[in-house]
């Protein structure tokens, strides 16, 4: 591959930052990842990854990209005890949407597009980090904060100013490319405005998501399902998720939307789980051994910083991951989004010279993010209480979606397409095809006859 520069600096060792370093290692002589935490050697929760304590899964589409960038990764995860849903057995997934449980029997047409690897965030991140550390031209600078990028010539970033968190000693890392992968709290908008650039226009909307989560170790055979999704509705603003992780561990996450308060003590969590979950699943959790304490988190707003729309942007500088777009985490799209952006960066580097890569990447990444953002916007609109004129389109949307859910309760074809849309391997528009609409109509007629 043609080299695009001598040195690149990646700010942040998140999954987005690690995948960025992997991509850049093919195009730069050396890559330095700067991280404020001291990174653990193994699969340990770390302060900078709050999502690791809550429901977390890598969607099928994201898995495809990670397998491209890090061949053999998922074989290693399985060897470390991670679970696998290979798509052939729908009974392993219990999903209830709009009050209707999706079909759990029958033959799936394309299992590969539903394949899901279930590993805790610490385990997955530990394996990705280990693979990136092993790349000869990638180095890590830990326990350092990135203060800001540094300009060289006009309009061109030439490095990053960093500070050692132990000694407060500052230094500049010279670089041909600097990448901001510092997450939702990234300071790039303020940095741009301080240097005479316009900040990115933002698209945002309130989510008011709350999580309460608890890990368990479940006795062998107590839980038949590997994935459980109970989606909140307008009528009931609470939901739940259960995932079977490595080595017999299971996570329960209670979900509250639109500011709904959740219990943060285990007895009250289990009482709510009894209300939300099928009895056999709730019983398996009660039979389990709690691991650690309850973790709670609040996520107020989804934000997309439209760097692709700014008229002037520094050369030698890009922004990636949650620093660009932070989705409602309840849909589990964060890491898949980061993987798609890393692929967009790889494709941009393959086509562009170093001076042009920023613009090319930002435009290409926006195309990857647009359909995910739009789907999220629709899904969130369907479940948040609204008033005034918004109530009419919400009722129409929810009527349509509930009809799909009613039919999918006894139709493995509709269920498979619906689950593919969640896995980002199928466009939601597939459900509007005539063949799908016929199945929805027939399914609702059957439901009426048997009710």
Query: What fold, for 5-70+122-201+306-376?
Result: FAD/NAD(P)-binding domain (3.50.50)
Residue 2 structure tokens: 């043609």
Helix axes 15-24, 60-69, angle to 10 degrees: 40
CA proximity to 336, closest of 77, 105, 75, 69: 69
C-beta neighbour count of 380 within 10 angstroms:
21
Residue 306's pLDDT is what?
97
Residue 347's pLDDT is what?
94
CA distances in angstroms from 99 to 398, 403, 404, listed in the order given: 12, 11, 12
Helix axes 334-351, 60-69, angle to 10 degrees: 40
CA distances in angstroms from 211 to 55, 139, 439, listed in the order given: 9, 35, 35
DSSP symbol at 150: E
C-beta neighbour count of 311 within 10 angstroms:
6
Q: Residues with Cβ < 8 Å from 52, sequence gap 6 or more?
A: 45, 46, 120, 121, 122, 125
Residue 272's pLDDT is what?
97
pTM for the model stands at: 0.94
Residue extents of the structural domains in the chain: 5-70+122-201+306-376, 86-116+208-301, 388-450
Residue 197 structure tokens: 């650039």
pLDDT tens track of the chain, all 451 residues?
677 789 999 999 999 999 999 999 999 999 999 999 999 988 888 877 778 889 988 899 999 999 999 999 999 999 999 999 999 999 999 999 999 999 999 999 999 999 999 999 999 999 999 999 999 999 999 999 999 999 998 889 999 999 999 999 999 999 999 999 999 888 999 999 999 999 999 999 998 999 999 999 999 899 999 999 999 999 999 999 999 999 899 999 999 998 898 999 999 999 999 999 999 999 999 999 999 999 999 999 999 999 999 999 999 999 999 999 998 888 889 899 999 999 999 999 998 666 678 999 999 999 999 999 998 888 899 888 888 888 899 899 999 999 999 999 999 999 999 999 999 999 988 988 999 999 999 999 998 888 6
> What's the CA gap between 134 and 446, in Å, rounded?
57
Q: Are 125 and 15 in contact (CB under 8 A)?
A: yes
CATH 3.40.50.12170 fits 86-116+208-301, yes or no: no
């Amino acid at each position: 591959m043609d080299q695009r520069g001598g040195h690149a600096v990646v700010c942040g060792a998140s999954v987005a930052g690690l995948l960025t370093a992997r991509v850049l290692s093919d195009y730069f002589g050396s890559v330095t990842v700067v991280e404020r935490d001291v990174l653990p050697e193994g699969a340990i929760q770390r302060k900078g990854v709050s999502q690791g304590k809550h429901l977390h899964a890598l969607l099928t589409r994201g898995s495809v990209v990670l397998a491209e960038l890090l061949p053999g990764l998922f074989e290693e995860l399985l060897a470390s005890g991670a679970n696998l849903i290979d798509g052939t057995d729908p009974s392993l997934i219990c999903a209830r949407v709009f009050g209707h449980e999706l079909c759990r029997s029958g033959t799936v047409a394309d299992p590969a597009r539903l394949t899901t690897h279930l590993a805790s965030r610490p385990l997955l991140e530990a394996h990705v980090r280990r693979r990136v550390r092993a790349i000869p031209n990638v180095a890590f600078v830990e326990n350092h904060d990135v203060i800001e990028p540094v300009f060289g010539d006009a309009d061109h970033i030439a490095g990053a100013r960093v500070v050692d968190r132990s000694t407060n000693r500052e230094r500049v890392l010279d670089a041909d490319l600097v990448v901001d992968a510092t997450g939702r709290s990234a300071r790039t908008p303020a940095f741009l405005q301080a240097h005479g650039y316009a900040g990115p226009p933002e698209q945002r909307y309130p989510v008011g998501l709350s999580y309460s989560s608890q890990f368990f170790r479940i006795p062998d055979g107590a839980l038949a399902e590997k994935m459980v999704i109970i989606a909140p509705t307008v009528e009931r603003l609470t939901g739940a998720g259960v995932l079977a992780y490595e080595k017999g561990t299971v996570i329960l996450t209670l979900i509250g939307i639109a500011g709904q308060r959740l219990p943060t003590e285990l007895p009250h969590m289990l009482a709510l789980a009894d209300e939300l979950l099928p009895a056999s699943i709730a019983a398996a959790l009660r039979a389990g051994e709690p691991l650690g304490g309850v973790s709670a988190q609040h996520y107020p707003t989804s934000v997309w910083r439209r760097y692709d729309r700014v008229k002037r942007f520094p050369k030698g500088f890009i922004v990636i991951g949650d620093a660009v777009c932070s989705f409602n985490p309840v849909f589990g799209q964060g890491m898949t989004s980061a993987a798609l952006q890393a692929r967009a960066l790889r494709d941009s580097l393959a086509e562009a010279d170093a001076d042009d890569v920023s613009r090319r990447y930002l435009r290409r990444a926006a195309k990857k993010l647009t359909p995910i953002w739009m789907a999220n916007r629709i899904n969130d609109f369907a479940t948040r209480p609204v008033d005034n004129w918004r109530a009419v389109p919400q009722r129409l949307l929810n009527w349509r979606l509930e009809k799909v859910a009613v039919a999918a309760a006894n139709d493995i074809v509709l269920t498979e397409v619906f689950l593919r849309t969640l896995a980002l391997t199928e466009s939601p528009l597939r459900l509007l095809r005539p063949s799908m609409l016929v199945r929805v109509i027939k399914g609702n007629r059957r439901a009426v006859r048997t009710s």
